Amino acid sequence: MLEVSGLAVAYGGINAVKGIDLAVARGELVTLIGANGAGKTTTLKALAGLLAPAGGRVTYEGADITGVPAHALVGCGLALVPEGRGVFPRLTIEENLLMGAYSRRDTAGIRDDVDRGYALFPRLKERRAQLAGTLSGGEQQMLAIARALMSRPRLLLLDEPSMGLAPIMVQKIFETIRRVSAEGTTLLLVEQNAKVALEISDRGYVMESGRIVLSGPARDLLGNEQVRHAYLGEA
């Protein structure tokens, strides 16, 4: 579904991503792990059309989308849940969800997907009229995921969904990611919590200093001594 060849991204004189290759097959859940500053978020922003690549090629469902802007990619079935959630703080939960469907015109389908979002996250339904800016970090992350799903993405990019969340909320978020994957959405996940991310993923990539240094089945990366030492906190 997604093929990245030689992707390079530079900004402010910094070469943040240095010619990486990666691929995501339809139906897969793939995770990209690495230390802070490795280039993971920059990679997702380039794939989502928020940053223009300095080189390389991005192919999505057989079409070259290199440099295509974000608003156009949403209509093609590609959506991003950004780092930091990015909810609209002065809009209600329900208004945020409806913003996720801004490119759609199927009123009945939009209503069905709002209900689906509430089924995924019952806490949001209880507070549907509450301003998003007054929600906890975990509730905002729930809303950001539900809002992205409103565009009916075939490929969902998730950037650090567990960042700053309490352990019980992290568990809930990852349960939801697993469920969304099981229901047929293809996912590319960037995550600092490498162990939990690899445990729910099919495959993984390890990024260091703007380059992919390891890749393979998630279970193999979990057992890799280098990964265990550098990213899983194991001796």
CATH number of the domain that 93 lies in?
A: 3.40.50.300
pLDDT in tens, 34-84: 988 899 999 999 999 999 999 999 999 999 999 999 999 999 999 999 998
State the sign of the Cα–Cα–Cα–Cα dihedral 162, 167, 173, 177: positive
User: What's the pTM?
Assistant: 0.93
d(CA 220, CA 119): 34
pLDDT in tens, 83-109: 988 999 999 999 999 999 998 899 999
The number of folded domains in the chain is: 1
pLDDT of residue 233: 67
Range of the domain at 198: 2-231
Give 130-155 pLDDT, tens digit per residue.
999 999 999 999 999 999 999 999 99
Place of tokens 């380059």: 211
Q: How do residues 174-228 score in pLDDT, each as one tens digit?
A: 999 999 999 999 999 999 889 999 999 999 999 999 999 999 999 999 999 989 8
The two tokens of residue 71 are: 């608003």
